[in-house]
Structure 1
Amino acid sequence: MVISKKQMTQTVRRWYGSRLAVIIESIIIGAAVGFVVVLFRYLLVRAEDLRTLIYQALPGLPFFWTLCWGLALALAGLFLGWIAKKRPMIRGSGIPQIKGALLGQMTLDWVPELPLKLVTGILGLGAGLSLGREGPSIQIGAYVGKGVLSIFRRPEREQQFLITGASAAGLAAAFNAPLAGVLFALEELQSSFTPLFLACAMGASMAAAGAAALFFGLHPIFDFRDIAALPLRGFPWVVLLGIICGLLGDLFKRGIYCSLNLYDRFRIPPILRPVIPLAMSVPLGFLFFDITGGGHALIESLSMTERSLTLILLLLAGKLLFTALCYGSGTSGGIFLPLLACGALAGIGLGKFLAFAGITTPEQNLNFMILGMAAFFSGVVKAPVTGIILILEMSGNFNHLWSLVLVSLSAFVTADLIASRPIYTVLLERMVKPKVPDQNSWAGNNDG
């Protein structure tokens, strides 16, 4: 039987319009996102290693080289400020921009913005700003998805599914956490979902995580697999930790909003704003190196290096303030890792206090550190299910499931009781409808 050209065209069109074709396309997009995010992660690691070597070498060199380093950071800050002014869509984490694009309030222009997001993210984070790679990775995923969809045309609804799946793939590749990527898309990016959307998000996330595993391995981001579960008698303190992180998470958000308002209030030109936190990073790099950077090394060091409770609290205060200063500058960078670092510090701080009081044992401090990360995420982002699964996948230890649920719920309820709104919702509102800061409030009227 001879098939005519018309019949073949109709068959191809029918297959291309099927659900299976959409799911296959989501897998292709996810794999592409994974390889781009792998490049992003690799270059960030190299930049962080270089910065560490610089701060190790500078104390033994003449002061002239410290001045040269400061000048280099100032020039980098001017470049970051100029790019952020020219391309506002690449500012910050990028998650509010994706939400705005999915709601039809913003437009993703992937051709110039994808490479600029990569370059500014590597430069700013590599120079020592207290910002994270995960938000930018999510936006990078959306840009890659948009680029693929410029070749393969799809109806608007299917495009939304595929771009959301690409965003989920960005988180999956950044954290080696495919389930967290899917749940983040469900909780944060889409208010409702269908089986097709779920399949697209799962296909893209698994493909991206697989691409990342080819280069970084299948092991979790943090190796806490040998830590025993917290006993039931410790659960009341888990609730206390959730309450503390819910309150600190609100303080974290207010610091972000306050910083954004202060940059505006003092009329600092956008091109100069990144110079301020980069200048601050120099003395911090010498005195409190752990405060600079995203916070990955800080979280790892907490599990290996003994620190006093006073130093833990000092690092927590410094991380909160410096993260707010960095994010308010408007350059590219997210808050995922900094907020997880703050949660880890809060958790291990409470664990040390309880161990000092004889209520728990020092061996359980790491339990509180892991729980603190989930609680802080739930309090700030108000996506508790994502926080639970994210920490489970990042730590590689599923012994903490019950305590993670309890601490995340406690933080979420605390944030709800004090009317602390999800940070990405507030940031999107600020971008779409900027508000005039209240002259009687440092945090203005966008503090949620």
Structure 2
Amino acid sequence: MAWFPFWQRWQQWLRSRHYGRTAIDSRYAIAEACVIGFVSALAALVIKNGVNWLGSSRLSLADTYGAIWVLPCFGLVFGGLAGALIEQFSRPAGGGGIPQVKAALARYPIPLDWRVAVVKLLGTVLVLGGGMTLGRRAPTVHIGAALAAQLSRWFPTSPEHRRQMIAAGAAAGLAAGFTTPIAGVLFVVEELMRDVSSLTLETAIVASFVGAVTSLVFQSSDLNLAHSLSNSPTVRFTTGEIPFYLLLGILAGILGVLLNRSILSLQNWQRKQNLSLVIRIGVVGLISGVAIALLPSFFRDNAGLREFVTSGELSWHQVVLTLVAHFILTILAYSTDAPGGLFAPALVMGSALGYLVGEFGSYWQDQVTQTTFALAGMGAFFTSVVRVPVTAIIIVFELTGNFNVVLPLMVACATSYLVAESLFPRSLYDHLLETKGIFLAEEKPDHDFLADIRAGQVMKTEVESLEQSLTLAQVLPIMSNSHHRGFPVVQGGKLVGVFTQTDLANAAQESVHIALKQIMTPNPITVDPEAPLSDVLYLLNRYQLSRLPVVEGDNKLVGIITRTDIIREEVSQLGGQIIHPPHPAYSVYQTRSPLVGEGRILLPIRDSDSALVLFQIAAAIAKKQNYEIDCLQVVKVSKAQSPSVQRVQWQRQRQLMQKLERIARHQRVLFHTEIKLAYSITDTILDTIQTRHSDLLILEWQGEMPIGGQIFGQITDRLIDQAPCSLLMVKQGTNDHAYPRYLSPMAHWLMPVAGGPNIEKMLNLLPALFSLYPEENNPQLLISKVYLPRQSQRYDPFYDLKNLAERWSEQLQRPIIPIPVCSTSIADALSDLAEMRECAAIVLGASREGLLKNVIHGNLPTQIASQTNTTVFIFRGPVDSPNEEAIVPPLAPDFGLDE
């Protein structure tokens, strides 16, 4: 249990040491890159040893019991296990992994964390150990990036720094997989990030070096690079061979394009069949096992096949068979989204193609060596598939350790790249991302001007602060009279902490004479005046803050910066025009009735359990007020691609809508329906209110205590704050009666009052709600006011309540019973009264009081809802102007419920 305080102290120390800097200290970045390189190398070694052990067991059993039985079974069983593992625990861990890393570095919200790394590692071992024709290097890149992303969450970083750490992890993964540190760095620069800034290169180089060294330490007794192809015959290159290297580049470009197109076509076909990964990977594993069992025995050593080709141990007939079989099996395996890469298969196919071209050239020139062509073919085919010619050259060079191979590699790779780009532009990874709706711009993205603006240029220098020597009793009036929700706490001009409404809520049980320094939050997150606004905005979003103190030197408070300050600066930079970004939503189902109503009710629904109840309430109001009902269901989708191209199962929502349509026709209610796929539920509801000109929004409320600083919950709080129309929240009761859950025959309705405007407006909806009852079972309305014992000495609460009951009785044409209650707790008094009178519903008017009373006295509506089994209604009238304060529930005993 002592771990948690230690972790909190560690986080506080990091924040105080790190966030006040103008930029991320390179020492932290280098240290983090070392850790990333080490853990990435360990993951690569685990994969290598795991694949070797499982593969050796597979071949040993095949020799004992027969390959035709063992190899297909291994492919089917372990392929199916890998598919189940991915589907059950982490879908982003499927596929090669390079597209996911590339999208994450392009700032798409692609999951990268420890779960992805673990599932990827296990899935790769199962797939490759089961005999599928894929490689392990691309998964190590994915795993390295995922581990780096997870580590960057534990260390305080900016978004740009996190991207650089992810790139470093990818470089370390490739360096450890091939033991090629230079190629790891170049692959990040050439394909993944296309960034040559100093910090990117530094961290990538360090991570690659550490990854390669760690891999060597655990595999050999020295640190000399083990060139796996160094035992090949002497590499020679003459000018007379150039035409054959050009031919090799052309053939590699054509075959690479054919491979890419075949993978995309087969993958698209498989996804249209809606097959699970278990079936897709398992079946292809079975096919691969059968094929390998029928092929010559040398084909079963997938890891050593490249060396067989380059060393000239195979005849040209066997090399042709290797190329064709590897080509087909790689297409089948990669199209299933199995966790495996194309690096190793591309090198094998390239070496086979190069050997064949060299064999052809040997008939024309005696000095042609097939080995040199095999090495050049590796780079050419790799270039055609991945479109990274420089990385391909360096990988083959580092694998051979022979500089003489560079010139033939350059000729073949350049030709292959030109041919492939002419036939099928961009790499396979870009096309795979496009099938998921992710389009990476070829040109350099627009420069983020927020990175050039400093906090000191935008901050407010006049800061309302509190001295730490103040008491809680002295602080309360200051917070009540201020529109701020948090204050820096200073001592002698130096920042020592912050005091927010959360701290105030935590101190609700403390004495009012307690000193501020005992209840404030010490060591707050701060920024330096030279910190870029992009980093400030990241910190505000990551920690859900509304403001950050700006300090310099020895924690001297010089200003404060808020979200509003950043927005104002963005508007200024955009030429003074506020650009409202669209909230993408795509309508997949819609019905419309004639537009003849005098108003509109917007009814967002979630599930069938609550939909019928909310519909009955909305229908009753619509019939009384001559309104129409807009019924909306929002299905939240991933931001990784446009809603219009995402495949989502929404048949269940359509069936619910059609059921409500039938009920609406039976009750003769004007009813419109719509199902939308959208990124944000709240934004879609707000947009619908604007476009449909809604007059009333009816929301379901669970009545549970929300987390954090929320009052009703994240979505509901935003709608209360921003929806311009009237709003009715309904928390369903749990009483089990013959009538629906929100109705109880011959029951009372309780309406607490305090003289506010919202409860008056709610009276207009009561006749509609009462009409849900049979006329003989119409409920009685009780109005109540809770007052403190000391208030009874100043006035007669019953007199005021009786006059109000008489006035409302005339308006509603029904008797109203006034009940004053004396108590020190509003929630307890109303809950007890509702239980004693067997009330079917409690009607509350939302308050226009600020959040201060909410944090002092607690969330009163939630307290009432949790203490009773009755239905609770909360009504808030329309917002008159955009500058009006956010409407929140009432919370002070001195003010009642609707002040």
Class of the TM-score when normalised by the shorter of the 2 chains: 0.7 to 0.9
Query: Could you say what secondary structure the match of 2:161 adopts?
Result: helix
- The Cα shift of 1:386 comes to 0.5
Q: Deviations over 1:238-261 (max 9, x none)?
A: 111111101111111112112202
The TM-score, its normalising length taken from structure 2, stands at 0.45
**Match runs of 1:372-383 below 5 Å:** 372-383=377-388
Aligned Cα RMSD in Å? 2.6
CA-CA distance at 1:71 after TM superposition: 4.2
Residue 76 of structure 2 is matched in structure 1 by 74
Judging changes above 3 Å, is the alpha-carbon distance between structure 1 residues 291 and 432 closer, same or farther for their aligned structure 2 residues? farther
User: Residues 295 and 247 from structure 1, CA distance in 2 versus in 1: closer, same or farther, beyond 3 angstroms?
Assistant: farther
Higher strand share: 2
Q: Distance in 2 between matches of 1:10 and 1:254?
A: 51
Partner-residue secondary structure (3-state), 1:330: coil
User: 1:182 aligns to what SS in structure 2?
Assistant: helix
Q: Does 2:288 align with 1:281?
A: yes
Residues 175, 212 of structure 2: 8 Å contact kept:
yes
- Pair 72,240 (structure 1): closer, same or farther in 2 beyond 3 Å: closer
Equivalence map 1:6-155=2 (5 Å): 17-59=24-66, 67=69, 70-86=72-88, 87-155=90-158
Mapped to 2, the partners of 1:235 and 1:97 lie a distance apart of 38
| Bigger relative CO (Cα 8 Å, ≥ 6 apart) | 1
Using the alignment, how far apart are the partners of 1:168 and 1:379 within structure 2? 21
User: Quick one: distance in 2 between partners of 1:68 and 1:238?
Assistant: 41
Deviations 1:296-351 (A, max 9, x none): 31111123453332332222111111101011112211111011111011001111
DSSP 3-state at the match of 1:353: helix
Structure-1 separation of matches of 2:96 and 2:297: 21
The answer to which of 82-91 and 94-103 deviates more is 82-91
Deviation, structure 1 residue 13:
6.2
Partner residue in 2 for 1:172: 175
1:69–1:385: structure 2 CA closer, same or farther, 3 Å change rule? closer
Q: Which residue of 1 aligns with 2:796?
A: none
Residue 164 (structure 2) aligns with:
161
**Distance apart, 1:73 and its partner CA:** 3.8
Question: 1:418: Cα distance to partner?
Answer: 1.6
Structure 1 contact 309–353 (Cα < 8 Å) conserved:
no
SS of structure 1 residue aligned to 2:304: helix
Larger radius of gyration: 2
What is the CA-CA distance between 1:279 and the residue it aligns to?
1.0
- Assess, with a 3 A threshold, how the Cα gap between structure 1 residues 103 and 10 changes in structure 2: closer, same or farther: closer
Conserved 8 A contact 1:130-1:294: no
Give the Cα separation in 2 of the matches to 1:52 and 1:71: 12
Residue equivalent to 2:685: none
Matched pairs, number: 423
Report the counterpart of residue 62 of structure 1 in structure 2: none
State the Cα deviation string for residues 136-165 of structure 1 (Å, max 9, x = none): 000010121122222212111111111101
Opposite residue 327 of structure 1, the aligned amino acid is Y
Distance 1:312 1:193 in 2: 40
The reply to whether residue 388 of structure 1 matches residue 380 of structure 2 is no
Q: 1:341 to 1:225 in 2, by over 3 A?
A: closer
Q: CA 1:213–1:105 in 2, change beyond 3 Å: closer, same or farther?
A: same
- The answer on whether the counterparts of 2:71 and 2:290 sit within 8 Å (CA) in structure 1 is no
Question: Is the aligned partner of 1:253 residue 2:255?
Answer: no
Match of 1:353 in 2: 360
C-alpha distance in 2 between matches for 1:148 and 1:187:
24
State the secondary structure of the residue aligned to 2:194: coil
SS state at 2:34 partner: helix
Q: Is the contact made by 1:347 and 1:370 (CA closer than 8 Å) also made in structure 2? A: yes
Hey, what's the Cα distance between the residues in 2 that align with 1:293 and 1:427?
29
Residues 167-223 of structure 1: CA deviation (Å, up to 9, x unaligned): 010000000000000000001111333111111110110010010010223212332
Q: Does 1:188 align with 2:191?
A: yes
What secondary structure is seen at the aligned counterpart in 2 of 1:129? coil
CA distance in 2, matches of 1:21, 1:69: 48
Q: TM-score, normalised by structure 1?
A: 0.87
Letter in 1 for 2:190: E
Deviations 1:45-80 (A, max 9, x none): 222222222332233xxxxx9656644543323222
Aligned equivalent of 2:375: 370
- CA, structure 1 residues 118+289, in 2 after alignment: closer, same or farther (shift >3 Å)? farther
Distance of aligned partners of 1:21 and 1:419 in 2 relative to their CA distance in 1, 3 Å threshold: same
CA contact (8 A) 1:78 1:272 kept: yes
Distance (whole Å) between structure 1 residues aligned to residue 60 and residue 387 of structure 2: 37
Tell me, yes or no, if the aligned pair for 1:256 and 1:327 is still in contact at 8 Å: yes
Cα distance in 2 for residues equivalent to 1:293 and 1:158: 44
Asked if 2 retains the 8 angstrom alpha-carbon contact of 1:84 and 1:330, the reply is: no
Counterpart residue type for residue 80 of structure 1: A
Q: What amino acid is the match of 1:179? A: I
* Code of the aligned partner of 1:164: A
Query: Distance between the aligned counterparts of 2:68 and 2:320, measured in 1?
Result: 29
The change in CA–CA distance for 1:270 and 1:12 in structure 2 (over 3 A counts) is closer
Aligned residue for 1:407? 412
Aligned with 1:272: secondary structure? helix
Give the Cα separation in 2 of the matches to 1:118 and 1:212.
16
Q: Which residue pairs with 2:338 in the alignment? A: 331
Specify whether residues 417 and 394 from structure 1 end up closer, same or farther in structure 2 by C-alpha distance, changes over 3 A only: same
Name the CA shift for 1:81/1:420 in 2 (closer, same or farther; >3 Å): same
| Partner SS, residue 277 of structure 2 | coil
Determine the structure 1 residue equivalent to 2:237. Answer: 230
* Helix, strand or coil at the partner of 1:271: helix
- Mapped contact 2:114–2:147 kept (Cα < 8 A): no
Decide which of 236, 240, 250 is 1:243's aligned counterpart.
250
Specify the code of the residue in structure 2 equivalent to 1:116.
V
Task: Using the TM superposition, name which of 95-104 and 339-348 deviates more.
Answer: 95-104
The 1:134/1:289 distance shift into structure 2, 3 A limit, reads farther
Cα 1:299–1:123 change in 2 (3 A) is: same
CA distance in 1, matches of 2:338, 2:74: 17
Structure in which a larger fraction of residues adopt helix: 1
Q: Which consecutive unaligned segments of at least 5 residues does structure 2 have? A: 1-12, 439-640, 647-899
Per the TM alignment, residue 235 of structure 1 is displaced from its structure 2 partner at its CA by 1.6
Distance 2:307 2:287 in 1: 24
Once the two structures are TM-superposed, the CA of residue 10 in structure 1 deviates from its matched residue by 5.7
Distance 1:144 1:111, change over 3 A: closer
CA distance in 2, matches of 1:256, 1:352: 29
C-alpha separation in 1, matches of 2:337 and 2:29 = 36
Identity %: 27
SS at match of 2:102: helix
- Say whether the 8 Å CA contact 2:18–2:24 is kept in structure 1: no
Q: Cα offset for 1:292?
A: 6.2
Q: Label 1:18 to 1:300 Cα distance change in 2 as closer, same or farther (>3 A).
A: same
Contact 1:130 1:291 in 2 (8 A): no
Q: 1:419 to 1:154 in 2, by over 3 A?
A: same
CA contact (8 A) 2:227 2:398 kept: yes
Give the match's secondary structure for 1:92. coil
Decide whether aligned partners of structure 1 residues 295 and 430 sit closer, same or farther in structure 2, where only a CA change above 3 A counts: farther
Aligned in 2, Cα 1:193/1:294: closer, same or farther, shift over 3 Å? Answer: farther
1:221 and 1:267 map into 2 onto residues whose CA distance is: 42
Look up the equivalent residue of 2:32 and give its one-letter code: E
